[in-house]
Amino acid sequence: MKHAKARTRLRGARGLAWAGAVILTTAGLALATESLASAAPAAGSQAYGTQHVAYLGHTFTVPSNWSVVNLSKDPAACVRFNVHAIYLGTPSTSQKCAATGVAAAEAAVLVSPGSTTASASAQDDAIEQRITATLGNVRITASYGTDRSVVTQILASAGVPTPKIQTPSAVAPHAVAPHAVVGITVAEMTYTDVGLGFDTCAAPSTAQMSAWGASPYKTVGIYFGGADRSCAQPGLNASWVSTEAAAGWHLLPLYAGPQAVPNPGEPSQLTSPAVQGTASANDAVTQAQALGLGQGALLYDDMEGAGYTAADSSEVETFLNAWTTRLHALGYHSAVYGEEAGALAVLNGDWGKMAEPDVIDVANANGLQNDDPGADPANHWTGHRVHQFVADTTQTYGGVSIQIDEDYLNLAAACKPTGSGGIVRPHYVLSCGAGPE
């Protein structure tokens, strides 16, 4: 779950110098380069070269220092939205990705084959910081982070209409009283495990998960939403969730929301932390419901970084307080992933002053298969702790290799059998049935 390394951002790209052309077709996807005259940059702006990338009859003008990734020639390539790249083709459900699932979003574009009858359209999701568009026979997903103008210029160069700002769907509060017993659903598979688990950037395919059925892991971490979710998730949908839950896999749903320390030296993304915490919780619930993770599910906010300044700590406290408060109001359970000297220090230090999460997930790659009690010195989350104890390792089971982070889950006290009475934490009574619906 650790951050990827910082990347150079492109901002205010105006007066671009024409440098080359890349021509890709379904037949050959051949590369051609041509020299073009340089254009004088506008006063005070930086000049970048550009290249023309043609795919299925559409041409995109992108900076020349972007990577052009042909997914037909490299089907296992990892489609990441934290690097400057244009990807052409359909991402594989078996991408070979590093385990890192959270990184500050960069300007990146994925162009895939689409419906030949779809009309041209574009929607901008400001929470996810992604523009989705259709254009003739292609569909486009573009992340932008702080580089929205760069991305809209690229899309406009291919004739994509001006994106419409997407209004977030209304999320209704949970209709059941706060202390009601949650029914036995797939959501239960998010809070009923003790033992080993793993997380990785892109959800493995069903075939890969089947091959790993004989592994020691029982839980799989999935990055299901958030602007800083760095990998494309072509195979992550409601069918995948129900299939894996039915196969006995428990789930660790991770939301990659705004960060106090997006990358070393970069400004905080928490510009309005109370508003962003609530908005992130609303978005997380919307994304979770689309995957079939209903009310009662435990959702994790991934808050990276350590060594926060006082301002960082204040922003994180405000954000996480809003995150947990809103999730509880919507009938969901709250978890926070972070480092002992980062988000968890905020939670411990502000105990009793904020809405605390029901579960903590400790980022501490010390190799110890335990729930890291040292990260919880007052034992606030005994029986409600997860520990990421190994980062970025490659494991192979059933002939399938995946780069993962390893986790130990101790959610023994996260629920009790139905009818056994309430517990101090989490805030709601959870039921422990035999499995998912």
pLDDT of residue 31: 31
pLDDT in tens, 306-318: 999 999 999 999 9
Q: What is the dihedral of CA 184, 407, 426, 182, to 10 degrees?
A: -10
pLDDT of residue 167: 78
CB 1 within 8 A of CB 33: no
CB 304 within 8 A of CB 2: yes
- Residues 243, 235: Cα–Cα separation, whole Å: 12
Both tokens of 158, joined, read 């291919």
pLDDT in tens, 36-73: 222 223 222 244 699 999 999 999 999 999 999 999 99
How many alpha carbons fall within 13 Å on the CB side of residue 320? 35
Chain centre to alpha carbon of residue 10: 22
pLDDT of residue 48: 62
pLDDT of residue 46: 41
Q: Structural domains in the chain?
A: 17-165 (no CATH), 186-410 (3.20.20.80)
**Does residue 345 sit in helix, strand or coil?**
helix
pLDDT means over runs of 10, the chain (437 residues)? 44 26 35 27 47 97 97 96 97 95 96 94 96 96 96 97 86 48 67 94 98 97 97 96 94 98 89 98 96 94 95 98 96 96 97 95 98 96 96 97 98 57 38 37
pLDDT of residue 258: 97
- Residues 150, 302: Cα–Cα separation, whole Å: 27
Over the range 149-186, which residues count as b (16 or more CB within 10 Å of their CB) and which as e? ebbbbbbebbebeebeebeeeebeebeeeeeeebebbb
DSSP state of 41: P
pLDDT of residue 119: 92
Both tokens of 224, joined, read 């299901």
pLDDT of residue 412: 82
pLDDT in tens, 6-23: 333 332 222 222 233 333
The CA radius of gyration of the chain, in Å to the nearest whole number, is 22
pTM, two decimal places: 0.86
Both tokens of 327, joined, read 């999730």
Both tokens of 279, joined, read 């908005």
